[in-house]
Amino acid sequence: MENRTGLLSGIRVLDLTRVMSGPFCTSMLADMGAEIIKIEAPVTGDEARHFGPYQEDESTYFMMLNRAKQSVTVNLKSPEGIEIIRALIPQCDVLVENFRPGVMDRLGLGAEQVRALNPSMIYASISGFGQESPLADWPAFDLVIQAMSGIMSLTGPKGGPATAVGESIADVATGMFGAFGIVAALFDRERSGKGHTLDVAMLDSVMAMQLTGLSRQLYSGDTPRPAGNRHPVTYPVDSFPTSNGDIVMVCFSNASFVALCELMGKPELAEDPRFSTNAARNENEEELRGLISGWTAAQDQAELVSRLQAARIPAGPVWTLAQLAGSEHVEARQMVRQAEHPKFGTVPVVEQPVRVAGQKPRADQFVPTLGQHTDVILTRMAGKTADEIASLRKNKAI
């Protein structure tokens, strides 16, 4: 036990994913100590290797998503390539794939076909709409899922057009739910000895995140609309200007609103019928926002946040990514780590955020070049000789 390097140490994952949702899932497993064998197409590799931004000719997007994975090139269109995958399956605990539904079955690598080779395999399929859906054949990208999930209809300025969230939230959320399901399945396997087949859909994942909007839609039939930065039912929970940057504050109760009024030097506002209840504050939002903004706009951002927090009103500055990355918090939490890279020496990566008492983040963090680990994995796990590997390469199977 002393030699363990993470909670998932000893777990081996056969990673047939590409682009983002699947690779994000397996990167979380890698951060927790699992061994990830990433299968990529020869020559071109994962499509994400060709997505910007770039450092020289290497995708930094790919680097962020594929830390601590061993890259093995296998041609899945070649019978010899499929046989390589079949040779690896019995030695792995988890298989993760995010091809369009039906592709793995056609390759002879569907869940039942894989479980015939390894009955205890955890087989996770990530797709846009799930394996069994009227929309299963639709191509799914993050923006498409955001649009169909309803989250775009909630995002943006009040009265404005539907707006995408400023990150690939559908891909990320699906990856997290996928990792959660895999770990739960591994836990059950310890008790039952049985493998599991997991079906993780991007559209389902984003829907499951929208608790506030769905609590309105499903219980009252009230379809939410964009509300800007404010909370859709509680006010003032919103962003406000200061003299040197915006802040957010969360006055989530009558008591916190009374504290805000006192801080503003206008305690009488708390008794004003226009603002004395949450319903009244919502009804008179524009007028209240004007009063609060007039006060905050003259304040220094850092000083105002400090005063609000001292009054027990949750508040924070609106940061850019540059401010976040350079913050004392990120440094203290070691959120940006350096990973070994064969070409650049080291590159920055952001690992999964869960901190486990008594365990440090993995020390052997690295980012692979395309096919970097092909020979060593085929030798160690598939029993191939140097001559056999050379023949596979000549036949374009790897």
Amino acid (1-letter code) at residue 382: A
State the CB neighbour count (10 A cutoff) for residue 85.
22
Residue 252, by phi and psi: left (phi above 0), alpha (psi -120 to 50) or beta?
alpha
Note if 196 is an active site residue. no
Find tokens 């064998």 and name the residue.
37
Q: Which of 50, 231, 329, 341 is catalytic?
A: 231
Per-residue burial over 138-152, b if 16 or more Cβ lie within 10 Å, else e, is eebbbebbbebbbbb
Evaluate the CA torsion angle 142, 143, 148, 152 in order and state its sign.
positive
**What positions carry a catalytic annotation?**
231
